[in-house]
């Protein structure tokens, strides 16, 4: 397993739309293992393949306290979302150190293939539902800061570009 580099906003590769996985094979299994290792190493609760510059529809999530309940979603799609919505603070491994309120469906049902290629539907609410929606946004080329006002988004972009410049010096 390898720790993969995570793209940082405003990297344009974060805006690429991911393509469906054609087959759950050894390459996808290796990608999932590397993504899980990367997510745990970065202390995240979710990671989309887009964030590691692989533009296929793969997401890994673990919202458990013990960090021992990994969830793999391949070709995920929301098949139902509640009308009830909540605003909660979100962060992102691609937007380090930034947290802000985003409105999301309170509950979702997501159909996806698991790590073995079996189809399943997951009914999620709370943090898991938020995390699924957040990671699936990445697969569509959308970063959570795009839900914020243009002023906030520009401030975040400026701050992160400055941090990236400073870290290279």
Q: Average pLDDT for residues 130-151, to the nearest whole number?
A: 97
Q: Is pLDDT at 137 greater than 90 in this prediction?
A: yes
pLDDT of residue 26: 97
pLDDT 10s digits, 20-29 = 999 999 999 9
pLDDT of residue 167: 86
- For residue 151 the two structure tokens come to 């002023």
Over the stretch 86-129, which tens digit does the pLDDT of each residue have?
999 999 999 999 999 999 999 999 999 999 999 999 999 999 99
Q: Which domain holds residue 17?
A: 12-167
Q: Which residue has the tokens 């050894």?
A: 26
Q: Is the pLDDT of residue 1 over 90?
A: no
* % of the chain exceeding 90 in pLDDT: 96
Does the annotation list 134 as a binding residue?
Answer: yes
Question: What's the pTM?
Answer: 0.96
CATH code at position 128: 3.90.45.10
Q: What is the pLDDT of residues 70-85, one digit of tens each?
A: 999 999 999 999 999 9
Is 138 marked within a binding site?
yes
Does residue 2 belong to any structural domain of this protein? no
- Domains in the chain, number: 1
Q: Is 8 annotated as a binding residue?
A: no
Task: Report, as residue numbers or ranges, the catalytic residues.
Answer: 135
Assess if residue 65 is contained within a domain.
Answer: yes
Closest listed residue to residue 139, CA positions, set 40, 9, 16, 44: 16
Pairs from 40-44 (Cβ < 8 Å, separation ≥ 24)? 40/67, 41/3, 42/6, 42/93, 44/93
Distance from C-alpha of 109 to C-alpha of 122, rounded to nearest angstrom: 6
**Amino acid 131: pLDDT:** 98
**Mean pLDDT, the chain, integer:** 97
Average pLDDT over residues 136-154: 97
Question: Mean pLDDT over residues 6-24, rounded?
Answer: 97
* 64 within a domain of the structure (yes/no): yes
Residue 4, in any domain of the structure: no
As a whole number, mean pLDDT of residues 126-151 equals 97
Q: Is residue 5 part of a domain?
A: no
6 in a structural domain: no
């Amino acid at each position: 397993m390898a720790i993969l580099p995570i793209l940082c906003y405003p990297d344009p590769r974060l805006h690429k739309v991911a393509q469906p996985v054609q087959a759950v094979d050894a390459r996808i299994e290796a990608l999932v293992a590397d993504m899980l290792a990367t997510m745990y190493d970065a202390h995240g609760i979710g990671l989309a393949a887009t964030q590691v510059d692989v533009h296929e529809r793969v997401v890994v999530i673990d919202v458990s306290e013990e960090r021992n309940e990994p969830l793999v979603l391949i070709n995920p799609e929301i098949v139902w979302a509640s009308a009830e919505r909540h605003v909660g603070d979100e962060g992102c491994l691609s937007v380090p150190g930034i947290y802000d309120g985003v409105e999301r469906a309170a509950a979702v049902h997501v159909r996806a293939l698991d790590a073995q290629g079996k189809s399943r539907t997951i009914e999620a609410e709370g943090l898991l539902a938020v995390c699924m929606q957040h990671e699936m946004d990445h697969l569509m080329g959308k970063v959570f800061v795009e839900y914020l006002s243009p002023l906030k988004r520009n401030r975040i972009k400026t701050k992160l570009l400055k941090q990236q410049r400073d870290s290279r010096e």
